[in-house]
Amino acid sequence: MKFGQQLRSSIIREYQWYYIDYDGLKAELKNASGAPADTPENVDEAGPSTTSPAKKNGRAQRKKRWTEEDEQAFIAKLYAELEKVYTKTKVKQSEIQRRIAVSEREVREVVSRATERGLNEQGPSEEEFILLEEDLSDIIADVHDLAKYVQINYTGFYKIIKKHDKLTSWYLRPAFDAALKKKPFYNEDFDAEVVKLSNMYNNVRTRGNPVKGDSAAGGSQGSFVRQTTKYWVHPDNVTELKLIILKHLPVLVFNASKEFEIADSAITSIYYDNPDRWDLYEGRLKKTEGAEAIRLRWYGGMQNDTIFVERKTHREDWTGEKSVKARFSMKEKNVNAYMRGDLLPTALFEKARKDGKKSEKAIAEDESLAREVQYSVLKNGYRPVCRSFYNRTAFQLPADARVRISLDTELTMVREDNLDGTRRSGDNWRRMDIGIDWPFSQLPPSDVLRFPYAVLEVKLQTQHGQEPPEWVRQLISSHLVEAVPKFSKFIHGTASLFPNRINLLPYWMPQMDVDIRKPVTHNFGIQRPDNSPSGTTSDYDEDDSDVEDIPESTTENTSNGHNGLSSGARSVILGDVEGQTTSDPVPSADYPLYDSDDESDEEDRIEEARRIGGWTYISTITHSYANRAGRRALQVLKAIAPRPRSTTVPRSNRNQMFFGNQEIQNKKFKAPKGKKIYVPVRVEPKVYFAAERTFLGWLEFSIYVGAIAATLLNFGEKPTRLAFMAAGVFTLLAVLALCYSVGIYLYRSKGIRERKVIKYYDKIGPTVLCGALFVGVALNFAFEGKDRSLCYGSGHHVLGVVASAVRYPGARQPVPGISLAD
């Protein structure tokens, strides 16, 4: 849908007078006050003074020129709108922070009464906890509404700037960027609020008895196994997703003893590989058995002295083992010496043995891992090639890894190599010209890749056959996420940063240009309490002139919209119920998203042609209607044209779990020129055995055909020329079947070994072989019957055929005991 319509349907009542005046700014662009611009076809060769009156009247209807006065008026209105949005954002954010502070004191007081009361003292009632939970839910809804308000206004400002630069040819984007940096209303990620709300909500939800345990994000994890599924999250949905998850799982912070800082969520990894062969890249991409990934990781800023050396090992399911990530830690000052082989693992863990803080078994496991990693690096020539940086928000019950959800935002990949002669990391194990100062604007574009989405990882440790919690199933099947199985930051960063060296691409690379936002599928999300005093509905006052511009379908859909924000999502029809109302998709729209960058091109052309008038307007509107009629005719022809129709296959349990009952779209993508897209193919040992059994089946069939040929040739009383020909046909069939089966077996074995997506079924070979066998038997029967005397006397009787058929092949006389008279 158009952005103006999307803006109107997303209005929150509390903010309804503080949104960008998008329609007003558009009207400013259409009201140029300058004189019409002369064009070559409207000016005679003698100059403007000789222009005919008719042409002067035509020129008066032409588009007026955008003047400096128009530009100043537009800028004044634009900056006034920016000031309005910025002020409202800051005021609301301050209000939310004050409410959080008040709620924090109330929660602390109630929890202390519940946990520190004496034997005869009465603790807080259940009603008090319910009221606190409702108050926190209301604050969470306020944070959500503010995030949506910021997001849609930010989009509106840049859409109107793009439209301005296109229609007026006065480029305002650079100046507006500078003005926006002075009033960065969009620069709020609400992470601090999310952490505080998570802690309070967890205390209230558990009635003052939260789960205790190790909350360090990277502290005590040694070797662990998880079943992980990955999803992409559009930036518009990041805050909403965080707020939804924190109501079920608390935020897992780095250091619970201090106030949250942005640096606490930063995670940086350096990935190693052999730049000549890219062994680790291809192994992880193809998911071969035993494929490894080696990386060095640290948490927080560059001043962090603890570096984790990690090795991921992929295991196929048929092996009975699970993919494992193992790691050990060392001091940053020892990394270079260790990676060069100057510092041996024995010396690396000498101090740990003396301190005695870890068991001898744990130290021995770490030392064994360090020895294996060092040997692999030195043997294969692994060097740092790629860095990944992101801010992680992890959700998990402390000391309980059954459900762990992490959301990585600001994901960025950076080159760490020196392959093109540029000294990035030099002889050091990492480059030192950047830290955690995202978005790393000091780097050249060729050295950095800013990933456009957040990455959600859902990690489950459930027993065999046990399903994940219901809220997790609803989350992963909602419109907020896009499933991308086996997504890897290392694979994506390497493939994107080394386009001239990597020719095998992951399957998701062609999907990077596809908008992953989806329509709302079910009622899931933030719920505002019904008795909340702060209302947020999208209905307008009755005398608002903009109401007439809202399509009826939008109003109708709002009545049953399921955005999951509140129970008042049906307020437009059912009454003045407080709540957010982002409507469901309009039936006539293919996608419930606001317009893309090029959506208004046709509308702008028609508007400009209307102002010019005459033949220009007639031709433009005719061309528009013709294109629309052509598209509809093409859709009708595709619908009625006879063609093979696909058979409906029942949805698998895995797809049902991931996607529910919503429609799954299948799209085909083509690899860039000179590149190949690798699609993950799962191969189990039974696949090899199946190919071998098929080959043995062909051999058995070939032996049968050869036996028939030998019987026809050798077991007749007096072999004839026809019997010899039939035997030859069967012999040729047997030889061809043998050669064909060997070729098919080798072809399939190579495809399975190389994990190629080829056709492993054969609908031609068996059909041809059976048909040839049938023809051979029929011809043998016909020629033998013709060559023999099928009847005696004057009549041709069917008994003669029967007698001829049952006698021995090649015999001239009927079988003893059977006569024609019988």
Q: Provide the annotated active-site residues.
A: 489
The phi, psi pair for 704, rounded to 5°, reads: -60, -45
The H or E element that residue 362 is part of is: helix 360-380
What H or E segment, with its residue span, contains residue 626?
A: helix 614-640
User: What is the distance between the alpha carbons of residues 13 and 381, in angstroms, rounded to a whole number?
Assistant: 61
- The answer to whether the CB of 230 falls within 8 A of the CB of 332 is no
DSSP state of 390: E
DSSP H helical ranges for 420-513:
470-476, 489-497
DSSP secondary structure of 782-805: HHHHHHS---SSS---HHHHHHHH
**DSSP letter at 169?**
-
Q: CA-to-CA distance for 373 and 335, rounded, in angstroms? A: 12
Q: Which amino acid is at 637?
A: L
Q: Is the dihedral of CA 560, 563, 564, 568 positive or negative?
A: negative
Q: Which helix (H) or strand (E) holds 311?
A: strand 306-313
Positions of E strands within 156-265:
227-233, 251-252
Go through 726-758 and write b for each residue having 16 or more CB atoms within 10 A of its CB, e for each that does not: bbebbbebbeebbebbeebbeebeebbeebeee
| Rounded CA Rg of the chain | 37
CA 11 from centre of chain: 28
| Structure tokens given for 136 | 């926190």
φ, ψ of residue 309 to 5 degrees: the values are -100, 120
Task: Residue 258: count other Cβ atoms within 10 Å of its Cβ.
Answer: 9
Closest CA to 240 of 524, 521, 21, 455: 524
- Cβ-in-10-Å burial (0-12, 13-18, 19+) of 598 comes to exposed
Nearest to 316 by CA among 290, 292, 297, 343: 290
Q: Exposed, middle or buried, 634 (CB in 10 Å: 0-12/13-18/19+)? A: exposed
What type of residue sits at position 429?
Answer: W
DSSP string across 270-308: EEEE-TTT-HHHHHHHHT-TT-EEEEEEEESSTT--EEE
Tell me whether strands 227-233 and 454-460 are parallel, antiparallel or unpaired.
antiparallel
Cβ–Cβ < 8 Å for 123, 117: yes
510 preceded by cis ω (within 30°)?
no
